[in-house]
Every structure is written in structure tokens, then in C-alpha cells.
């Protein structure tokens, strides 16, 4: 008897729906090398009939995708208006390889001007990462154009306002973390103090100010004439 | 720190000995408490058994290791008095401490707040002795005062906190298993125990960047590290065709227990380009009862629509060892299939604006989506964007479920509800006149059919729906190409380019008459006047897609 697949999370267990096996009998590809265990000997010894699979074919089920489904976000690149042009002058203050990384970023790169001197921008196939240090502060920014989608995680209501948008604010081992969605991409900003829970890390005001300060410094731009 | 739960008490002694036994020791009790079972009194965990980082490397160089709470453990600020080096802190079973009580946002925790990662103690209570190693290959994207972040190519980020003797530098490429630092208690002068605080951070559809539970990823990677071996699972793949993928699997160490089967499409397990799915092999099969002494070990896996593209595809199947040993590839694996694309249903294509929409509607691009060429996609007229959030209602005096879509209510047959994973607890109960006041549209389809062309956005093939009183809405109209005002694209609320047609402004909807078709296949009813707030809510849920969505919320009162 089929059993519902287990799903996790606070919403409890759910069952995936069973697809109606209404497809044709097209069989493609090599048959299996060995079938089910040969039970004929045992059946003969028992003097009974050979057991076989149930007469009713089970309905094919879906499995849960391991590690989540990867889904590209639709990125809306900043436009041509003056306020949206990249603050490219900041790039010159950064580590040498940052300029080239910014040009390859699949996500609009946002950085805090106050932390850009000596900072570094790195990129991956679907992300960028900014890391900057000033005195005893470390600031990181991440942007992502590809999400993991899980069947047990649904849209959550934002709980804070970040850059005028709904987002989340948390503190992880003294490190402030703000996250939100902008330009269609997922962003995260983190503030770490050499002395946690004090000074700039005593409360959320500094990280919220940093979030408001973020400016667009460039990126690879839309692919194939996509939305801008 | 509380004692291990009763079910594990008899195992603790055995497990202490296991450390000294050969890896081929026979079956033993689990070394970890279930996901979400926190130390009593430390908060509300989440019973999330998802392995968010399959195939990762355990982040401490050698075992054994002891994930548990450093705050609620012996010597912790909330735990029993004593030394952090107390034997209770360095013993099995493990305890999850993701979502342990903290004050700040954690959207994936049941209370909405909590601890963001897992504390892990190394083999012994010694500072700066035990290696912290990279769980995945990637780039060191940050070295802070007491943090090291490594971002993998996938965008997944792994955080290693409180280490000393950092052995890597920013922007350095690292391999899986490469030493990053030593387990210590670096915390900028703040007192803490010797431990690794470990996070996994991802961009998750529906939420954005968030810390996910690392617990089961740690369990699985620890099993690999410690070589918890025993007899490997067995079983064959009976058949692979366009109807299904069928077979059975059994672990001889647990002969009566159905086991998981992992199927990888497009490569073997461990291939980063392969998509893996998990399925419990628990189907009853007569032929197995005598043959292997147990009946419930069959599986019948569907063929994903996204791979029904006329191309040949391989699928590799593995039986998953119940005790964390090597997972055996099933006999006759891999299989191959080559299936013709399914015919596109009739209708319009409705834009799925973001992963958040997929998440809220529980849609799957792997199972639900057909890949088509651009011409086939463009041949489908474009309709209203798919609703960003799923709103299901019923009248207080009626069991009929309705989904609210573009200002219309669309009936949901009970079997259709199951297809769409809609359950009782999601359905909002509204006053009857409020429900009746929403014009009725076409029923929710019995098939979730997503479609996309190479490099395009994702669409749902659906009936055409016309928001009430929308002069731009024309049934079967073509896309005007006009965009929204909010080209800034906040919150991925628009997705761009998804506007419904109606360049011909002469085709304005005729005034609706009682019970008459108002030109879009929708019917208005003679329901009593609907309270203004209900109309406003329904209108807003449609209008949100047409305006820049700036959500202003007051910060929550935080737990202290």
C-alpha cells in the first residue's frame, strides 16, 4: 500500500498527488539486466502457485528533489535614469580583481560606500559576494539570482522593513543579518564587530543604516535583452 | 544538560564503545536525537529532516564529534553548572539546536525566532587542536573577526564561527575537506565554549536568504566520515519506461523496514549536474513476500515532465542504507528513457513571477514543467500573471473551496485540491455573502502544467481569467507588451512583461447583467452587497501585481 511521502516543516506532513498512469506503453531504452528474484524454486517446493506482483499496477509517485529545486530569479536590472546608474567610481577603491568580478556578476552588485575602500567583490555562476573591513567592523553583502525551492517551505511574511521593503533582520552569534528581495534578486547584508554586542553591533541601527546606504555599482546586465 | 532520552539511554554505552569498534560493526542504535528535539527547556525545534547540503563533508576533520547546545549544556549560561569539558557534553546522542531560543528573526523556525545554526563540539575539550574543514569546495568570501564564510558554486554558503588559527584568506578557492581553522572559542572577548558554530545559508524561494537547518546534513556527512558500514542494500530496477521507473530495494540489516531509494537523473550520485529525488520504497508486492521475506519494498517512480523532451535520459538508482553505510546502486541501474513531449494543453500562459510564487503554490519545475521551443511558447496567448500568493476560502455555511484569483473565485474539486496540495488548514472561512460577492471564474484546473522555453520565464498554462471591471481584459487577447510602472522590480512582484492583452481599447467589457456572461466567461451573481473591506481586499490582491509593492511593516516586538 502506498504511503504518503514524508515532508517536513512546521506545516506537517503532506502527500504528493499520485499521477494517473494514463500514458501509453512506449518502452524505450535497454531492458533491465536482471528482473525480480526467481521465486519459482521456492514456489515449486511449496507446491503452490508462483507468486506475482499485484494485479493492479501502482500509480507512479513523485519523489522529493534532493537538495531543493534550483530556480532562476527574474532579475530586473537598474535602468538608465541618473539615479540608477552605477556608482562605478567606488570600484576603483576596491581590491584589483573586484572590477572584473563586478562586470561578470549575474546580480546587480550593491555595496556600502562607507566600506568600499579595500573591499573585495567575488562572483559565482549565480551570485556575488562583497566583503569590506573598516577598523573593527566587517561588512558582507551577498546577492543571488538562483533560489532553492523546497516543497515544505512556502512564502513567509516579512517581519522588518529593509531599504523600504519587506525583509528579515536577525542576529547570528552577534553578527547582524538583514535580508530582502530587490531587483528580483535575493540580498543579504551582514555586520560583524570585533567586539560583538557593543558599539555598532549593540543594536540594529547600524545595519539598517548600512542597508539604506547600499548603492548599485554594476553587474553583467540582462541576458539576451531581458528586463532592464 | 538533560540526559539522553529513554529510547537512547541503552544505546549510549553501546555507542561509547562503537567509537573503538571496527567500522564493520553490526547494527547499533542511532547516535542522534531526532531533528527538532532540542534539549528540554531550550526552545521549540523544527522537525525538519531535510538534508539541505547532500553530499557535503562533515565540517570537523576527524571524529568523533558532538553537536549539542553550548548554551544549555553543562557549563553553558543556561545549563547545569560545571565545566564545559564535562563528559556529558562529549557524548552521544547528538542534540539539534537549530531554532533554540534566541530573540531574532528565523523564518523557518516554528516560533519565527531562534538559533541560526548548530553548535558542534570536537572529539576532545581542547582549544585550537581540532581542524575545521570545508564542507564544500568554494570561495572564501569573508574572514571576519571570528567568522569564515565559504560560498560554493551553487550559491550555498557555509559559515564556520569561533575558530582560531585561520588558515585561508579572502577570495581563496578551497577544496572540500580543506582545513580552514581550528575549533576554538574566539568570540571577540565574549565568553563561549570551545565549539564550532556552523551555519548553512541559502537563497530559499518564498523567503530569500535564510539560515537553513544543518542538522540532518551533519548527520549524513558524519555517517560518511565515520564509515558506519554494514550490509549494503539490495534490489533491482525492474523497468524504466515512459510510464514509470519501477523496482524494489531492501536493506538486509533491517529487512522489514522500507528504505529510501534515491534516483539521480542526468548523472551518478555526486555529479553536480544530476538532479536527485528521494522516494520511500514501501509498495506492497506479492512477489517479494516469500522471495525476500518481506513485502513492502517496491517503488514506482514517475517520469518527470521536464525530462519528457524527446531526448534520451539516464537514471541512476540507489538503495539508501538504514545505518548510514555505503548506498548501493541497484541492479540494472542506470536505466534509460526517451519520452515524447506531452501535448500542450489549450489555454493561455500566465507568468510565474518569482521563486516565491512557486514556493507559495508548491509548484515544481522538475515535475510540473514542460520545456518547449520558443515558437510553441509564443503560440500560447499571454494571460494575467499567476497569483503571487495562494488564497483559498470557503463560505461559513458551505464546504466548497474557492481559490481567489485576479478578483475571481475559482472552484476547487476535492480531487483537484489534492493535486494542488491544498489542505484544510489553509482554507480561510469567510462570511457567505463575502464569498458569493466575488464573481465566479473558471474552476481550478485538474492539472498543474508549467511551461518554459530555453532561457525564458516560467508560465502556468491555464484558463483565461478576466479581473472584474478591467477594461484592458479581453478573453483571448494578445499581449500588449506594456510593462508595469514599477520597473525597479521590488520584491520580484512583477516579473516584467506579464501584462494581459487588450491593445484594442474598443473591446471594453459590456456592463454585466445579473447572471449574464459578462464577456469573459465569468458570471456575476445577484449576491447581497459585499462588505467594502472584502471588496477592497480582493481588489488589492489583484492590484498588487500592477503596482510597486512596498511593504511597510513595523518591527516585531522581539522576545527577550
Which residue in B526, B484, B281 sits closest to A2, CA to CA?
B281
pLDDT of residue A39 exceeding 70:
no
User: Do the Cβ atoms of B385 and B348 come closer than 8 Å?
Assistant: no
What is d(CA B536, CA A216) in angstroms, rounded to the nearest whole number? 36
Report the C-alpha dihedral over residues B17, B21, B26, B27, rounded to 10 degrees.
40
- What is the band of B471 on the pLDDT scale with cuts at 50, 70, 90? confident
Q: How distant is the Cα of B520 from the closest Cα of chain A, in angstroms?
A: 30
How many CB atoms sit inside 10 A of residue A44's CB? 10
What average pLDDT score do residues B464-489 get? 57
Residue B547 has pLDDT above 70, yes or no: no
Q: Tell me: the pLDDT tens digits for B397-419?
A: 999 999 999 999 999 999 999 99
CA distance A71 to chain B (A): 6
Query: What's the gap in Å between the CA of A114 and the closest CA on chain B?
Result: 17
Q: List all residues 6 or more positions away from B222 whose beta carbon is below 8 Å from its beta carbon.
A: B31, B58, B63, B65, B324
* Inter-chain touch A183–B298, beta carbons under 8 Å: no
**Bridge partner list, A121:** A130
Instruction: Output the nine-digit C-alpha cell for B523.
Output: 458570471
CA distance B479 to B540: 23
d(CA B99, CA B118): 9
Provide mean pLDDT across the span B331-356: 96
B466 pLDDT band, cuts 50/70/90, is confident
Q: Is A144 exposed, middle or buried (0-12, 13-18, 19+ CB in 10 A)?
A: buried
A113: which DSSP letter?
G
Q: Average pLDDT, stretch B380-384?
A: 95
pLDDT-derived band at A225 (thresholds 50, 70, 90) equals low
- Look at residue B472 and tell me whether its pLDDT is greater than 90: no
Contact B39, B109 (CB under 8 A): no
pLDDT over 90 (residue B7): no
Q: Do B153 and A124 make contact, defined as CB atoms within 8 angstroms?
A: yes
Grid coordinates belonging to A177 = 543579518
Question: B103 vs B151, which has greater pLDDT?
Answer: B151
Per residue in A123-171, pLDDT (tens digit) is: 999 999 999 999 999 999 999 999 999 999 998 889 999 999 999 999 9
CB contact under 8 A, A34 and B331: yes
Residues A58, B243: Cα–Cα separation, whole Å = 11
Return the higher-pLDDT residue of B513 and B402: B402
Widest CA span in chain A: 88
Does B301 reach chain A within 8 Å, measured CB to CB?
A: yes
Chain B, residues 367-426, CB within 8 A of chain A, namely 367, 388-389, 418-421, 423, 425
Please tell me the predicted confidence (pLDDT) of residue A156.
Answer: 87
What gap in Å lies between CA B94 and CA B196, rounded to an integer? 14
B239 CA to chain A: closest CA distance, Å? 6
B202 and A148 within 8 Å at the Cβ level: the answer is yes
Q: How confident is the model at residue B196 (pLDDT cuts 50, 70, 90)?
A: very high
Q: Which of B116, B210, B356 sits opposite A155 (nearest CB)?
A: B356
Find, among B40, B51, B49, B30, the residue nearest to B100 by Cα: B40
Chain B residues inside the 8 Å CB shell of A136:
145
Inter-chain contact A138–B161, Cβ cutoff 8 Å? no
The pLDDT, as a whole number, for residue B392 is 97
The tens digit of pLDDT for each residue in B158-177 reads 999 999 999 999 999 999 99
User: Phi and psi (nearest 5°) for B501?
Assistant: -70, -170
Judge whether A165 and A110 are in contact, CB under 8 Å: no
Map B91-137 to HEC letters. Answer: CCCECCCCCCCCCCECCCCCCCECCCCEEEECCCCCCCCCEEECCCC
Count other C-beta atoms under 10 Å from residue A45's C-beta. 8
Instruction: Please state, for a pLDDT cut of 70, what percent of chain B lies above it.
Output: 79
What is the pLDDT, as a whole number, of residue B474? Answer: 66
**Exposed e or buried b per residue across B257-269, where buried means at least 16 C-beta atoms within 10 angstroms of its C-beta:** ebbbbbbbbebeb
For residues B242 and B244, what is the distance between their CA atoms, to the nearest angstrom? 6
- Of B221-230, B239-248, B445-454, B485-494, the range with the lowest mean pLDDT is B485-494
Q: What is the pLDDT of residue A50?
A: 38
Average pLDDT, rounded, for chain B: 83
Q: Tens digit of pLDDT for each residue in A182-192? A: 999 999 999 99
Average pLDDT over residues A79-95: 82
What is the rounded CA–CA span in Å between residue B47 and residue B319? 24
B142: cell is 569573508
Q: Which of B155, B289, B301 sits opposite A60 (nearest CB)?
A: B301
Interatomic CA distance for residues B47 and B220, integer angstroms: 16
Closest among A120, A98, A160 to B149, alpha carbons compared: A120
Asked if pLDDT for residue B8 goes beyond 60, the answer is no
Contact in structure between B209 and A186 (CB atoms under 8 Å): yes
- How far does chain B reach from its first CA to its final CA, in angstroms? 22
Distance from CA of B278 to the nearest CA of A (A): 5
- The per-residue pLDDT for A85 is 78
For chain A, give me the number of helices (H) and strands (E)?
Answer: 3, 12
Point out the residue among B155, B242, B277 whose CB comes nearest to the CB of A64: B277
- Any A CB within 8 A of B125 CB: no
- For position B229, what pLDDT does the model report? 56
A206 sits in which H/E element: helix A205-213
Query: What pLDDT score does A223 carry?
Result: 74
**Between B552 and B422, residue with greater pLDDT:** B422
DSSP codes of every residue in B254-312: STTS-EEEEEEESS-TT-TT-EEEEEEE-EE-HHHHHHTS-SEEEEEEPPPGGG-SSSE
pLDDT confidence tier of residue B104, bands split at 50, 70 and 90: confident
Lowest mean pLDDT among A51-60, B106-115, B479-488: B479-488
* pLDDT tens sequence across A42-68: 444 444 443 345 557 889 999 999 999
Please provide the size of chain B in residues: 560
**Are the C-beta atoms of B239 and B303 separated by less than 8 Å?**
no
User: What pLDDT does residue A187 have?
Assistant: 98
CA B234, B238, B240 angle in degrees (round to 5)?
Answer: 125
Q: A224: how many CB neighbours lie within 10 A of its CB?
A: 7
CA-based nearest distance A185→chain B, Å: 7
Instruction: Give A137's strand partners.
Output: A134, A193
Q: Which whole number is the average pLDDT over A105-130?
A: 97
Interface of B with A in 466-485 (CB under 8 A): none
pLDDT at B490 exceeding the cut of 50: no
DSSP state letter for B406 = T
Q: How confident is the model at residue A100 (pLDDT cuts 50, 70, 90)?
A: very high
| CA pair distance B407, B291, nearest whole angstrom | 58
Grid cell for residue A55: 494485479
How many other CB atoms sit within 10 Å of the CB of residue B435?
A: 24
B310 touches chain A (CB under 8 A): no
The more confidently predicted of residues B122 and B468 is B122
**Nearest neighbour of A61 by CB, restricted to B241, B302, B496:** B302
User: In 3-state terms, what secondary structure has residue A46?
Assistant: helix
**B12-64: per-residue pLDDT in tens?**
444 444 444 333 333 335 799 999 999 999 999 999 999 999 999 999 999 99
| Distance between CA atoms of residues B37 and B47, nearest Å | 7
Q: Do B487 and A79 touch (CB under 8 A)?
A: yes
Give Cβ neighbours of residue B398 (< 8 Å, ≥ 6 apart). B432, B435
Does B37 contact chain A (CB < 8 Å)?
A: no
Confidence (pLDDT) at A84: 76
Mean pLDDT of all residues in chain A? Answer: 80
How far apart, in whole angstroms, are the C-alpha atoms of residue B52 and residue B213? Answer: 7
State pTM to two decimals: 0.76
Where does A106-170 have alpha helices with state H?
A: none
| Region B139-150 average pLDDT | 98
- The H or E element that residue A72 is part of is strand A69-72
Is the Cβ of B105 closer than 8 Å to some Cβ of chain A?
Answer: yes
Distance, CA of B304 to CA of B205 (rounded, Å): 21
Please tell me the distance from the alpha carbon of residue B297 to that of residue B282, in angstroms, as a whole number. 5
Q: Is the pLDDT of residue B499 over 60?
A: no
Closest CA to A16 of B362, B428, B393: B362
Q: A-chain residues within 8 Å CB-CB of B389? A: 155
Q: Do B243 and A16 touch (CB under 8 A)?
A: no
Buried b (16+ CB within 10 A) or exposed e, B438-472: bbbbbebbeebbbbbbeebbbbbbbbbbbbbebeb
* Interchain contact, B457 vs A186, CB within 8 Å: no
Nearest C-alpha of chain A: how many angstroms from B157?
A: 10
Any residues with CB less than 8 A from the CB of B142 and at least 6 apart, and which? A129, A131, A138, A140, B148, B149, B170
Q: Dihedral of CA B288/B292/B294/B297: which sign?
A: negative
pLDDT tens readout for residues B264-293 = 999 999 898 999 999 999 999 999 999 999
To which residue does cell 575545521 refer? B132
Amino acid at each position: 500500500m502506498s504511503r504518503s511521502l514524508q515532508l517536513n516543516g512546521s506545516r506537517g506532513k503532506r502527500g504528493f498527488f499520485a499521477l494517473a498512469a494514463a500514458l501509453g506503453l512506449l518502452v524505450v531504452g535497454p531492458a533491465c539486466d536482471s528482473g525480480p528474484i526467481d521465486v519459482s524454486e521456492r514456489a515449486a517446493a511449496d507446491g503452490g502457485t508462483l507468486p506475482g506482483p499485484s494485479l493492479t499496477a501502482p500509480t507512479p509517485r513523485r519523489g522529493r528533489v534532493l537538495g531543493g529545486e534550483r530556480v532562476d530569479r527574474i532579475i530586473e536590472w537598474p535602468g538608465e535614469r541618473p539615479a540608477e546608474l552605477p556608482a562605478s567610481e567606488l570600484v576603483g577603491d576596491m581590491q584589483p580583481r573586484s572590477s572584473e568580478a563586478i562586470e561578470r556578476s549575474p546580480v546587480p552588485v550593491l555595496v556600502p560606500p562607507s566600506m568600499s575602500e579595500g573591499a573585495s567583490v567575488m562572483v559565482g555562476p549565480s551570485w556575488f559576494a562583497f566583503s569590506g573591513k573598516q577598523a573593527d567592523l566587517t561588512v558582507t553583502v551577498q546577492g543571488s539570482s538562483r533560489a532553492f525551492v523546497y516543497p515544505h517551505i512556502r512564502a513567509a511574511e516579512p517581519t522588518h522593513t529593509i531599504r523600504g521593503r519587506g525583509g528579515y533582520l536577525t542576529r547570528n552569534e552577534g553578527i547582524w543579518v538583514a535580508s530582502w528581495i530587490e531587483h528580483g534578486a535575493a540580498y543579504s547584508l551582514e555586520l560583524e564587530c570585533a567586539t560583538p554586542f557593543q558599539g555598532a553591533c549593540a543594536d540594529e541601527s547600524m545595519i539598517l543604516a548600512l542597508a539604506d546606504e547600499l548603492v548599485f555599482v554594476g553587474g553583467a546586465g540582462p541576458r539576451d535583452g531581458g528586463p532592464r | 544538560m538533560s540526559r539522553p532520552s529513554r529510547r537512547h539511554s541503552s544505546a549510549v554505552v553501546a555507542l561509547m564503545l562503537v567509537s573503538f569498534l571496527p567500522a564493520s560493526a553490526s547494527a547499533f542504535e542511532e547516535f542522534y536525537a531526532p531533528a527538532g528535539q532540542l534539549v528540554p527547556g531550550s526552545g521549540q525545534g523544527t522537525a525538519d529532516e531535510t538534508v539541505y547540503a547532500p553530499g557535503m563533508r562533515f565540517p570537523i576533520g576527524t571524529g568523533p564529534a558532538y553537536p549539542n547546545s553550548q548554551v544549555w549544556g553543562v557549563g553553558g549560561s543556561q545549563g547545569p553548572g560545571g565545566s564545559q569539558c564535562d563528559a556529558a557534553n562529549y557524548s552521544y546522542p547528538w542534540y539539534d539546536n537549530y531554532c533554540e531560543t534566541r530573540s531574532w528573526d528565523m523564518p523557518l523556525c516554528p516560533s519565527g525566532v531562534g538559533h541560526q545554526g548548530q553548535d558542534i563540539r570536537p572529539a576532545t575539550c581542547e582549544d585550537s587542536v581540532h581542524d575545521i574543514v570545508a564542507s564544500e569546495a568554494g570561495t572564501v568570501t569573508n574572514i571576519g573577526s571570528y567568522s569564515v564564510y565559504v560560498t560554493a558554486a551553487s550559491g550555498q554558503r557555509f559559515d564556520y564561527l569561533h575558530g582560531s588559527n585561520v588558515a585561508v584568506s579572502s577570495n581563496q578557492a578551497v577544496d572540500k575537506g580543506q582545513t580552514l581553522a581550528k575549533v576554538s572559542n574566539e568570540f571577540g572577548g565574549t565568553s563561549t565554549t570551545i565549539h564550532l558554530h556552523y551555519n548553512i545559508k541559502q537563497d530559499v524561494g518564498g523567503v530569500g536568504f535564510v539560515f537553513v537547518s544543518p542538522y540532518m546534513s551533519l548527520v549524513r556527512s558524519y555517517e560518511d566520515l565515520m564509515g558506519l558500514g554494514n550490509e549494503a542494500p539490495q534490489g533491482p530496477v525492474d523497468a524504466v519506461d515512459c510510464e514509470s521507473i519501477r523496482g524494489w530495494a531492501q536493506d538486509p540489516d533491517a529487512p522489514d523496514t522500507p528504505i529510501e531509494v534515491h534516483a539521480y537523473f542526468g548523472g551518478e550520485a555526486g555529479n553536480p549536474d544530476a538532479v536527485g529525488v528521494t522516494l520511500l520504497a514501501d509498495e506492497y508486492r506479492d512477489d517479494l513476500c516469500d522471495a525476500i521475506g518481506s513485502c513492502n519494498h517496491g517503488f514506482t517512480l514517475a517520469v518527470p515532465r521536464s525530462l519528457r523532451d524527446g531526448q534520451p535520459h539516464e537514471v541512476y538508482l540507489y538503495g539508501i542504507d538504514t545505518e548510514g553505510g555505503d548506498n548501493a546502486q541497484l541492479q540494472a541501474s542506470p536505466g534509460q528513457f526517451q519520452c515524447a513531449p506531452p501535448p500542450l494543453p489549450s489555454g493561455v500562459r500566465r507568468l510565474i513571477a518569482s521563486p516565491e510564487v512557486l514556493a507559495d503554490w508548491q509548484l515544481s519545475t522538475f515535475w510540473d514543467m514542460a520545456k518547449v521551443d520558443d515558437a510553441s511558447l509564443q503560440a500560447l496567448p499571454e494571460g494575467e500573471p499567476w497569483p503571487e500568493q495562494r488564497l483559498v476560502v470557503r463560505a461559513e455555511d458551505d464546504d466548497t473551496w474557492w481559490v481567489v484569483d485576479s478578483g475571481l473565485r475559482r472552484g476547487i474539486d476535492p480531487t483537484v485540491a489534492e493535486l494542488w496540495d491544498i489542505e484544510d488548514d489553509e482554507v480561510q472561512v469567510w462570511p457567505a455573502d463575502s464569498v458569493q460577492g466575488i464573481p465566479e471564474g473558471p474552476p481550478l484546473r485538474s492539472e498543474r502544467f508549467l511551461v518554459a522555453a530555453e532561457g525564458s520565464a516560467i508560465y502556468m498554462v491555464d484558463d483565461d481569467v478576466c479581473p472584474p471591471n478591467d477594461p484592458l481584459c479581453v478573453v483571448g487577447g494578445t499581449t500588449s507588451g506594456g510593462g508595469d510602472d514599477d520597473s525597479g522590480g521590488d520584491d520580484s512582484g512583477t516579473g516584467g512583461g506579464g501584462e494581459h492583452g487588450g491593445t484594442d481599447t474598443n473591446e471594453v467589457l459590456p456592463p454585466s447583467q445579473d447572471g449574464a456572461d459578462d464577456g469573459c466567461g465569468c458570471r456575476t451573481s445577484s449576491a447581497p452587497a459585499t462588505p467594502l473591506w472584502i471588496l477592497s481586499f480582493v481588489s488589492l490582491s489583484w492590484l498588487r501585481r500592477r503596482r510597486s509593492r512596498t511593504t511597510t511593516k513595523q518591527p516585531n516586538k522581539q522576545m527577550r
